Amino acid sequence: MSGKSLNIKNKKARFEYHLFDTYTAGIVLSGTEIKSIRQNKASIVEAYCIVQNGEVFIRNMFINPYENASFYKHSPRTDRKLLLNKKEIRKITRFLIDKGNTLIPLKLFINEKGWVKVDIACAKGKKTHDKREDLKEKDDKRALDRAMKK
């Protein structure tokens, strides 16, 4: 819909967590929130998702207030409802029962129809040694690519 693509990602998520299932969900937003998101003035780095009363909410997602708003301005860090099927919500709820499991956003984007969507993933936190292993694999792959290039 717009010429400029939206590119808001949670880059630390893949490093900090083991990811299992991913889902694409819509977000319930007001007018000024969508305008700020279209200007890339949002962040999902500190955000996480919760399930309350059979509904999924994204918490701690920052959306900068829209500068040109006149009387209605949204608050930057309110809980925003995510739109998922009941079957997906039940599956997520079963996953979150175990200790240490969480639901985190990976990417915020605008689809072909112009709707704002968020990719969320069921995740489990990594231990320090897992993170070191990932860094070692990344360095080995980089060295192998350099050797193949020469």
Distances (CA, A) of 76 to 6, 37, 52, 149: 19, 11, 21, 46
Of 2-6, 16-20, 77-81, 112-116, which gets the smallest average pLDDT?
2-6
Task: Provide CB contacts within 8 A for 111, sequence distance 6+.
Answer: 117
Looking at the chain, how many residues does it have? 150
- Cβ atoms of 105 and 49 within 8 Å: the answer is yes
DSSP 117-144: EEEEEEEEEPPHHHHHHHHHHHHHHHHH
**Any idea which residue has 């959306």 for tokens?**
63
Of 101-110, 118-127, 130-139, least confident by mean pLDDT is 130-139
Q: What is the pLDDT of residue 1?
A: 45
Q: What is the reported pLDDT for 130?
A: 78
Per the CB < 8 A criterion, the answer to whether 120 and 82 are in contact is yes
pLDDT band at 119 (very low <50, low <70, confident <90, very high): very high
Q: Identify the burial level of 114 via C-beta atoms within 10 angstroms of its C-beta, where 0-12 means exposed, 13-18 middle and 19 or more buried.
A: exposed
Q: Give the Cα separation of 6 and 15 in Å (integer).
A: 22
Q: Which CATH class is domain 8-149?
A: mainly beta
> How do the domains of the chain map onto residue ranges?
8-149
Task: Extract the tokens encoding 48.
Answer: 């996480």
pLDDT of residue 4: 58
Report the chain's mean pLDDT, rounded to a whole number.
Answer: 87
For residue 2, pLDDT beyond 80: no
Please write the tens of the pLDDT for every residue from 41-96: 888 999 999 999 999 999 999 988 877 766 677 777 888 999 999 999 999 999 99
Predicted local confidence at residue 84, as pLDDT: 93
